[in-house]
Structure 1
Amino acid sequence: MFKSNIRDDAGSGAGEVSRHSTLKYPFRLNFYEKPPLGDVTIEEFELFAIDRLRVLGEIESSWARNRPSEEVRKVVGDQCAKYVPLSNNTAKTVELDEQRRKDHIGHFVLRLAFCRSEELRRRFVKAETALFRVRYDADDTLERQQFLKSMKFDWSGITHEEGIALQDQLNTLIGAPEENTDFSGFLKVKWTRIPDLVEKRKVVLKGGWAFVPATEQSALVFHEFQTTLECALEATSKALPRLDEDTRIIPLLNNLSQGFLSGASFDWGSSTATTAGGVTADMIDEMARKHFPFCMRYQHEELRKRKHLPHFSRLEYGLFLKVLGLPIEEALIFWRKSFSKITDDKFNKEYKYNIRHSFGLEGKRANYPAKTCMQIIMERGQKDMECHGCPFATFASENLQTALMSMYNVGSQDMGEILHLVKGQHYHVACTRVWEISHGVKKGAGLDGESVTHPNLYAAKSREFEKARTKQESGEDVVMAEG
């Protein structure tokens, strides 16, 4: 159970650990057996969890996209370096304890968020174990050995008598000469603790015991991490009801778990700021065709056909256009021209106020952000003539195929992959594949190796891609002209 004190202020707290003092977190690796103690601000509570969730979300996306293990390690390593960096003890220019404190707290916040159902626990354990595996493989050899010694696992070495009795099998397993009698590198554990190694025939079995060679001992560590976390989550789930009265914490935990289940775990950093570039009302039709994600392009086409959009669709699409870079003056022009069947008086009375309100010019004058993929997926539109929501989540299979073929020219081979992703509820990964297909980018190379998590991120990356390609083509033309 997470026992830290939560503060509403964003103060740094006392007792900062000096880089040159004894480290509070002596190792980069962590089994998270002890909860973080001390003060944690509300801002840290949320930020640390969201940053960690970015990494876990990308791990799940990598699995959904069938990335090879080497590519997964690289993607996860890049994500960790960006959001949850952990340096080795030899690093001289970073605050090691601060890095490891963030990692520690982030893990325990997500443990609170994901302990509440069997499905959440299963996915959390799987992703966290994969993260630990990447860090374990990348860790400094000496530090890793010191960490393992500090854990004091209840494994036993093999005795000389046991080694001699199994000499032929053990030497065959490690490819050693028949006369070899040095089995000091083997460990002896109950076979039930390493079912994966047993299935792959990478151990010698006798009397319910498995004799594990040194080259496979990392599997023991990973299994121990997984088992420890599974037990901890069960214990946390029983203690969680004690938090029900804390109105600050429960909404954050709900948001984190819903984001994880929807496959889109965090907000895009630019979701509240408009994109520079002077977007005008007359540019929207072409931009929709070239740069909009499925959800926004579908709403745009519905707007053109109906000459109108229902309330929630207008809100979702209007905020997307605002962040895209459409200023209030052009937004009023765009919506007025789009609602061509109504009079100016009706438009001014029934729609103009809401448009200005979304820009923070009416009412409480809040700067409303565009909706994230998580929010759009969870809203589930397509009811009572509404057309908001994520089409990947709401469209029937036949309608989805027809729309993707007509809007993005998705072929039959790619369509099968997208439908498989949708069936597994990996909607954001399916959207990412559509981006790659429509931009002629090889699988896994779109959006800097990450997945779509926000409609405006999709559009921004599309516009960046077009600018880069135009610049490259222009440069190639110059070279040819000079030749």
Structure 2
Amino acid sequence: MQNKEDRQKLLAQQTLSKINEVENHGTRRYPHRLNFYDKPPLGDITIEDFETCALDRLRILAEIESSFVRNRSWDELKNITITQSDKFLQLNSNSAWTLDLESQRRKDHVGHFVLRLAFCRSEDLRRRFVKAETALFRVRFDSDDGEENLEFLKSRDFGWEEVTADEVEEHFKELQTAAASANREPNPKERYCKVRWTRVPDLIEKRRVFLKGGMAYVPSREQSSIVFQEFQNSLMKSLEMTAKALPFLDEDTRIVPILNNLSQGFLAGVSSEWSTATAGSGNEITADMIDDMARKHFPACMRNLHECLRRDKHLKHFGRLQYGLFLKVLGLSIDEAISFWRRSFSNIQDDKFNKEYRYNIRHSFGLEGKRANYPAKSCQQILTSDQPGTGDSHGCPYRHFSPDNLQTALLSMYSSQGLTSADLPEIMHTVKAGHYHVACTRVFEITHARQGVAKGEGVGSGESVTHPNQYAARSRELERERDGDNGKKEDDGDVVMMG
């Protein structure tokens, strides 16, 4: 009896909570999932949240920009964006009333404004940011609930004028012609609005609207074009205003380094980092396994370092640092690391190795000095810091090699894995455009096509390479999946034979 009463109380509380949610819809800080970001977020925010909100949003914008570079279809871009949003920036509709929608929308709001500060600094950054943000807004608009979409549109003044039923009837023939041009079935009950023709040039170009007296008659299903254009224009104006106010932030030593890091990574073509690139994330490996793994699983930056090490029996400081941390995260223990580097530096005497190199190896594992457990370098760090000079082997081949040397190196490294000269024009096109991680991702897809990786799939769910260890980890995972399937088929065959 008591359990029945408790269930009734719980049901009543949930019902009251839902009613309260509906009643307070108009007074909530974020009544809609969609946002034009007209006002900055209010309240205190920690430096950690400041950076986290921006990075999580940037991961999504990075994949949107990668989709543009790779000429993905709108449906492909939409699917990838939704997948990334589910991982890093969930933004549910009002119907998901059991979730903390306010926290979701506040994170979205804060992240947007932090990135405004980072990307208002130059015309190129502003243009790229607006393009990616507009695409994100459009994905959300297209996937939003119809009723919530309508409520959002009613909450703003888009400067359009509703067309009366009498006007629709008067011009129905012309509206019918426009509908036919857009491959739409004419609907006498469809709602229309009027706007100045200059606001819908894309619809006019495709003959999807009826024009009269300088006004375009836009059907309800095409009104999104006006909304997207309004969002884009509003954001560009806001970014220009933010750029003028940015010098006032120069004295804030906490915020400026974060903004610099965000904008530098975006300019370098890599806008996010692999979130699981920490020590111990891979299975333990031995020094004897590295030669074979380098041939099968390493990205070009680490493959180049490995080959230079084998050829010269030495690497300079930044090369050792870049490669050593990569191997540590790959799963090489401190004892195996010392064994690997000692054998690799075969031209050096034991005393010299112990004095000059053993300490640095132990230091990178957090066993010497300040005992910090250093992470492996991400693509962004490799691209933007410690630029290689003459005689250096570190860096990113896609950025730091000459075009001829890069093409020669790629064919040398990956021809046995299926890369051919016919693949190079596409790869070099993305390199020339400065999207180095997209070029690396395409190489990954080509060299893992035999394991079932399709063009556009990236390292999973369309995601681009943003960390060397991400590349290697996914490659090893695909190999394990393939070997597991082969083993299963053999076992299945044995069972059939035994029957």
Give the TM-score normalised by structure 1. 0.92
Aligned residue number for residue 455 of structure 1: 468
Q: Distance in 1 between matches of 2:269 and 2:304?
A: 21
Aligned residue number for residue 334 of structure 2: 328
Aligned residue number for residue 400 of structure 1: 406
Query: Among 202, 209, 212, which residue is 1:206 paired with?
Result: 212
Q: Distance in 2 between matches of 1:287 and 1:469?
A: 16
Aligned residue number for residue 397 of structure 2: 391
Aligned residue number for residue 294 of structure 1: 300
* Matched residue SS, 1:252: helix
Maintained 8 Å contact 1:187/1:211 = yes
Shift of 1:192: 1.8
Aligned residue number for residue 12 of structure 1: none
Query: Among 216, 224, 229, which residue is 1:223 paired with?
Result: 229
Question: For structure 1, which segment, 91-100 or 128-137, has the greater mean C-alpha deviation from structure 2 after superposition?
Answer: 91-100
Which amino acid in structure 2 is aligned with residue 86 of structure 1? L
Question: For structure 1, which segment, 256-265 or 135-144, has the greater mean C-alpha deviation from structure 2 after superposition?
Answer: 256-265
Query: Among 423, 426, 432, which residue is 1:417 paired with?
Result: 426
Q: Distance in 2 between matches of 1:93 and 1:436?
A: 40
What RMSD in Å do the two structures reach over aligned CA positions? 1.9
Shift of 1:481: 2.9
Question: For structure 1, which segment, 269-278 or 319-328, has the greater mean C-alpha deviation from structure 2 after superposition?
Answer: 269-278
Aligned residue number for residue 285 of structure 2: 279
Q: Distance in 2 between matches of 1:133 and 1:392?
A: 32
Deviations for 1:231-281, whole angstroms, at most 9, x for unmatched residues?
A: 111111111111111000000011111112222222222323223422111
1:261 aligns to 2:267 (yes or no): yes
Q: Distance in 1 between matches of 2:275 and 2:35?
A: 29
1:100 aligns to 2:105 (yes or no): yes
Aligned residue number for residue 363 of structure 2: 357
Maintained 8 Å contact 1:158/1:183 = no
Deviations for 1:432-453, whole angstroms, at most 9, x for unmatched residues?
A: 1111111122112241121100
Maintained 8 Å contact 2:458/2:465 = no
Maintained 8 Å contact 2:295/2:303 = yes
Give the TM-score normalised by structure 2. 0.89
Q: Distance in 2 between matches of 1:451 and 1:355?
A: 30
Aligned residue number for residue 438 of structure 1: 447
Aligned residue number for residue 317 of structure 1: 323
Aligned residue number for residue 5 of structure 2: none
Maintained 8 Å contact 2:190/2:219 = no
Deviations for 1:101-158, whole angstroms, at most 9, x for unmatched residues?
A: 1111111111111111100000000000000000001111111101100012211123
Which amino acid in structure 2 is aligned with residue 435 of structure 1? F
Query: Among 435, 438, 447, which residue is 1:429 paired with?
Result: 438
Shift of 1:209: 2.4
Aligned residue number for residue 196 of structure 1: 202
Aligned residue number for residue 6 of structure 2: none
Aligned residue number for residue 344 of structure 2: 338
Query: Among 22, 28, 33, which residue is 1:28 paired with?
Result: 33
Maintained 8 Å contact 1:35/1:108 = yes
Maintained 8 Å contact 2:172/2:188 = no
Alignment of 1:375-386 (within 5 A): 375-379=381-385, 381-386=387-392
Maintained 8 Å contact 2:53/2:108 = yes
Is the alpha carbon distance of 1:183 and 1:467 closer, same or farther for their aligned partners in structure 2, counting shifts above 3 Å?
A: closer
Aligned residue number for residue 305 of structure 1: 311
Which amino acid in structure 1 is aligned with residue 421 of structure 2? S
Maintained 8 Å contact 1:158/1:184 = no
Question: For structure 1, which segment, 248-257 or 162-171, has the greater mean C-alpha deviation from structure 2 after superposition?
Answer: 162-171
Question: For structure 1, which segment, 262-271 or 167-176, has the greater mean C-alpha deviation from structure 2 after superposition?
Answer: 167-176
Is the alpha carbon distance of 1:339 and 1:184 closer, same or farther for their aligned partners in structure 2, counting shifts above 3 Å?
A: closer
Shift of 1:477: 1.6
Shift of 1:24: 2.1
Q: Distance in 1 between matches of 2:190 and 2:276?
A: 56
Which amino acid in structure 1 is aligned with residue 410 of structure 2? L
Unaligned segments of structure 2, at least 5 residues: 1-16
Shift of 1:164: 6.4
Aligned residue number for residue 476 of structure 1: 489
* Matched residue SS, 1:116: coil
Maintained 8 Å contact 2:342/2:353 = yes
Aligned residue number for residue 90 of structure 2: 85
Alignment of 1:23-172 (within 5 A): 23-158=28-163, 163=168, 166-172=171-177
